[in-house]
Chains A and B, each alone.
Chain A
Amino acid sequence: MVVSIKNLRVEYRAGGDSFLALDVPAWEVADGEQVAISGPSGSGKSTLLNVIAGLLPADSGSVTVCGLELAGLGEAERDRFRAEHLAYIFQTFNLLQGYTALENVLLGATFSAHGPDRSTAKALLETVGLGHRLHHAPAELSIGEQQRVAIARALVKKPQLILADEPTGSLDPRHADGVVALLRDACHEHACALIVVSHEAGAVSAFERKVEFLSLNRALAEGGAQ
């Protein structure tokens, strides 16, 4: 299993108050599996991805990703875990503005052990249809092109798992379908597991395994999350 979650609980605390954001009794994703999680905004989908990415520590429970129990890792180890094993794609602000498309892709592998490979980065940009825009700055690319650069960057370090948080949220339906298809094909080709969260039904319709987040997160039933 690339992801294995047991009795996960995450609480947010603000101003002395706390509320339960996540309560997931058990959930797994197999190696190379592609999963779409859908649910309304504020239901805790991004929180779940952040926990899996090691960006947000769980308050209790067990989260094992790529064979590593995240609760047992220190912050630097979780940074290295992210550098080596997984990639993250966001809805917006995916790219560093001062870097070209090619440099942004190279950054994806900069912190991993095997380091960035220029020819691989170029090939990936070719794959996502941006071979002619290697040296363009993000500001010179459309949102859809930026998302494709982000997909290339996610793949460049050959991760075991890609997390995509609303990757089509800023795209029109025609481009959204194209980006999702590209992401799925690329993950399939690289034998990489994929978890996509989206509040849009269209974005998740193509996935064989679809998870309705309302059924996964018991905190919602208890009145938590927002």
Chain B
Amino acid sequence: MSFWRIVLKSLWQHRLSTALAVISIGLGTALLVSAVSLSEQTHRNFTQEGLGVDAVLGPKGSPLQIALNALYHLEEMPGKLQWTYYQKVLKSEVVEDGIPFVTGHSYAGFRVNAIDGRFFTEFEYLPGRHFSVKPEDGGQGRLFHLREEAVAGAEVAKALNLRLGMTFNPTCGVNPGDPVHRNNNITFVGILAPTGTPHDRAICIPLKTFCTLEGHGADVQEMAVNEEHREISGAYLRIRRIRGGALHPGIQDLKYNVNQSTQAQLVIPNEVLPRLFGIIGWVDTVLVGIAALVTVLALLFLFVALISALRERRRDLALLRCLGATRRTVFGLILCESLFIAVAGGAAGMLIGHGIVAAGCEMIRVETGLRFSPFYISQADVFVLPAVAILGLLAGLLPSVQAYRLGVLRNLAPIS
């Protein structure tokens, strides 16, 4: 009968309160782990990856709105910019390449973006990763060649149960009730392999198709042939790199010059998106705060459970002392029980927390196209177990001291 066996026996003897304490600590910890993980991954998604875009050339308006629209297919573009101005920016020595696009259409709740076909071949949605329609990658069909052809993102295809050859009429706008281009039967010729990015939730049509959609006015129709009149929503820009893969420092001059103009602005996603967290960061703080509070409350429950269990166990502990257990031994027994419950709760909480992230990440990916991983190691994963262990020891300290000070004779058979 080892010391640890006595600890486990005691925990088993009070298995109901032990289980309740483990569950409550586990739930608090799970909340903490999942909140921190989702928060950090959201931050990383919006700030570190940039979705393969060094800069977005967009119209005048909110830079955040432009970044969200261009990269995440959220919001709406605040306006249009001239094709000729885009061509001028493209000639800048720091710009390596550009892919123009037009947003503002939708189908069945998904965005329909008119975009340059080089988007599929030149654009890297993640470093070194290009779009694919190859079946071995999970894609289908081919890229578009004709004006009345479209390529769907993987999520769109899945959600709408699309098959190659199916046709659709895009809505002129992104809001319910917007008019539909009824006489344009655009055919799906390709379905992109999943990328785990917001692009999975978009439908792409050729850039000039936007101009020729039935219902657009003559001025828009003319954009297809007359570059002087052509307008676009924006363009993804790839900036030249210097040694070490860093962006060419000239991007700041380019940004200054573009932003000084009256026609457009240059948005660098990695500068703009962190501002989003300046706005919504308090939500994270509140969530993590609530989770931490729940964990502390769970540990207080552990403290109360230990105190009440100690009242029931005074005779047992006195008997152990009579059998030769020292004060330190009974002190250690209670402290180890508390530590065990806290660590078990913490470990269970970490598993549950990652389970919550696993369940949530699929839902978030479907809804927003953002990639989350249940295996992401957040700061919480590093600090939560030691923190819970320390708090568990603190919760067990007073009951342990009470056990240490337990009077043996007072709690054994009455003195005759």
Residues of A within 8 A of B (CB): 41-47, 50, 53, 55-56, 75-76, 79-80, 82-84, 88, 90-94, 96-99, 103, 106-108, 110-112, 116, 153, 165-166, 199
B321 part of interface (Cβ distance < 8 Å): yes
Given contacts A55-B409, A91-B413, A106-B1, contact A99 B9 (CB under 8 A): yes
**Interchain CB contact under 8 A, B325 and A43:** no
**Interchain CB contact under 8 A, B323 and A42:** no
**What residue in chain A is nearest B13 (Cβ atoms)?**
A98
Q: Chain B's nearest CB lies how many Å from the CB of A91?
A: 6
Q: Which of B319, B412, B415 has the most CB of A within 10 A?
A: B415
B262 part of interface (Cβ distance < 8 Å): no
**Interchain CB contact under 8 A, A98 and B324:** no
**What residue in chain B is nearest A81 (Cβ atoms)?**
B324
Which secondary structure dominates where chain B touches chain A?
A: helix
Taking CB atoms and an 8 Å cut-off, the chain B residues in 288-347 that contact chain A are 315-316, 319-329
**Interchain CB contact under 8 A, B315 and A79:** no
Cα separation A108 to B329 with both chains bound (whole Å): 15
**Interchain CB contact under 8 A, B324 and A75:** no
B323 / chain A contacts, CB cutoff of 8 Å: 82-83, 88, 107-108, 110-111, 153
Tally B residues with Cβ within 8 Å of A.
27
Given contacts A53-B322, A98-B10, contact A76 B327 (CB under 8 A): yes
**Interchain CB contact under 8 A, B322 and A55:** yes
Cβ-defined partner of A112 (8 Å) among B6, B324, B408, B415: B324
The 7 closest A-B pairs by CB, nearest first: A83-B324, A111-B324, A98-B13, A106-B1, A79-B326, A46-B416, A110-B1
Cα separation A45 to B413 with both chains bound (whole Å): 13
**Interchain CB contact under 8 A, B6 and A46:** no
Cα separation A106 to B1 with both chains bound (whole Å): 6
Identify 27 residue pairs between A and B in the complex whose beta-carbon atoms are under 8 Å apart, listed by A's number: A44-B416, A46-B413, A46-B416, A50-B415, A75-B326, A76-B326, A82-B322, A83-B324, A83-B325, A88-B322, A90-B413, A91-B413, A93-B412, A94-B319, A96-B319, A96-B320, A97-B13, A98-B9, A98-B316, A103-B1, A106-B1, A107-B323, A111-B320, A111-B326, A165-B413, A166-B416, A199-B416
Taking CB atoms and an 8 Å cut-off, the chain B residues in 6-60 that contact chain A are 6, 9-10, 12-13
Cα separation A2 to B414 with both chains bound (whole Å): 26
**Interchain CB contact under 8 A, A116 and B409:** no
Cα separation A98 to B333 with both chains bound (whole Å): 15
A199 / chain B contacts, CB cutoff of 8 Å: 416
Cα separation A165 to B321 with both chains bound (whole Å): 17
Cβ-defined partner of B325 (8 Å) among A55, A56, A79, A92: A79
